[in-house]
Amino acid sequence: MVKKQSSMVLDMRTMFHCSIVMLFLGGLATLSFYGNYNQELVSSNIEVTLSTTTTTTTITSKSNTDTADIDTNTETNTNTHTNEAAQVFDHQRRLKIAPPSITETCDFFSGQWVYDNKSHYPLYKEDECPFLHGDLACQTYGRKDSKYQRWRWQPHGCDFPRFDGKAVVERLKGKRLLFVGDSVNRNQWDSMMCMLYSAIPGEKKLGVGLNHTLYTFRSNDYNISVDYYWAPMLVESNGDDPSNHRLDHRTIRVKSIEKHARHWVDADILVFNTYLWWRLPIIKLLKGPGSLLGGPNQVYDEIDNVRAYKMVLETWSKWVHTNIDPAKTKMFFMGLTATHSNAMDWGGKKQQTCYKEKEPVMVDGFWESGTDPKMLRILESSLSKLKAKGVNVQLLNITQLTQYRKDAHPTVHRRLWRPLTDEQKRNPQRSSDCTHWCLPGVPDIWNELLLSYIFPTTESASQ
């Protein structure tokens, strides 16, 4: 009986010790689980690096607008294969959780024009911008009304940060902002230059280089460069000479972009456009070494403008994907802009244009006949395909907001490259410029929207 009791006590002691050991091991397992869980929570809020490839580029600009020293140091994992002909970037290497900015919560491009003579428009005065091109200086060349300068773009249900020159200048220090495209992009560059002119203290210079294809507005004190590069069709074309080109037909080398693009790679911010030069129905695709300007050796295919536009955007997309690191360069593409050359679109008379128009179209959703929506869909599709590859080129879809502004073009109030003929003087409707935009004016709004994307914020432009 004693032996039996001793055995029972021993078994109870054994069970007690085992229970203590099991509790101890269970506690360790619980601590380990929650330690790993908390570590995962912390990790989800920091930047995650998916690639071992990093590239650092330092650009030292010189006073000569045609040249820049570029010092590039690349560290690459030994298992990474590099293309000797072109640098290929890992476009999906970084993921970061951040609070939504205004550009993500507000549709800037759906709205209406509101007349507002009490706000800060115009953003500058025409005579306070000495570098403004004369073909956009409408007041200087005889336009008497100024109401077109005081319309404010108001998005539906939200708003965008209004221009704060001093804040923008501080954030542009040490950067090169480059506009690339046709004369409407030059129009926007002129606007940005005038917006910044009075906000940048000290000396500012305007330089012209590369046979007048590159314009540079520069502040050496702040190391800011705001440039424009003339490439109306992005690839090589018979319009590459900004002052001597054919207007009655278009000829391109559809896969030749490097001649222009090598001047874009060192920009911190790139703003592209191309549309005006694609409105002719037929585009010639040059084959072989013949001259783009014509001649006996020119061999080409003729295709419709929509197909050619798509092909060129494919060439441009491949170049962007191969040569631009989106971790270091912000990229934007401007939407199509209206050309108010047919007054019948808004109820005017046949053969009239935007000449003497002084009010916007106030019909919601108005669309003038000169803007091809197929072109816009092709552009949107091209940018979507790039984004799927990890390259974000932000579309600034200003197309609809420009449709309403038939009142804001230079018409005949501009510097003329050649004297008007007697016929043009008798019929100013036909000689009116209804494609470009008076400054100050509509392109200033484009730049306010652009700056909202370049420097996104959750509150105001001054932050």
End-to-end CA distance of the chain: 88
- Burial class of 150 by CB neighbour count within 10 A (0 to 12, 13 to 18, 19+): middle
Q: Using DSSP, state whether 339 is helix, strand or coil.
A: coil
Two tokens at 224? 């800011």
Q: What angle do CA 397, 456, 452 make, to 5 degrees?
A: 45
Strands of 186-314, DSSP E: 205-209, 214-219, 224-230, 250-252, 269-272, 282-287, 299-304
Nearest alpha-carbon partner for 335 in 274, 268, 385, 384:
274
What is the rounded CA–CA span in Å between residue 143 and residue 357? 12
**Exposure of 376 in the CB half-sphere (CA atoms within 13 A):** 16
What is the rounded CA–CA span in Å between residue 250 and residue 280? 8
What is the rounded CA–CA span in Å between residue 216 and residue 189? 10
> Which residues, in sequence order, are CB contacts of 168 under 8 Å at separation 6+?
195, 196, 199, 451, 455, 461
Separation in Å, CA 116 to CA 121, 124, 152, 240, 463:
8, 15, 6, 40, 25
Catalytic residues: 183, 433, 436
Estimate to the nearest angstrom the gap between the alpha carbon of 74 and the chain centroid.
27
What count of other Cβ atoms lies within 10 Å of the Cβ of residue 372? 16
* Amino acid at the residue 22: M
What is the rounded CA–CA span in Å between residue 367 and residue 335? 14
Phi-psi domain of 40 (left: phi exceeds 0; alpha: psi -120 through 50; beta: other): alpha
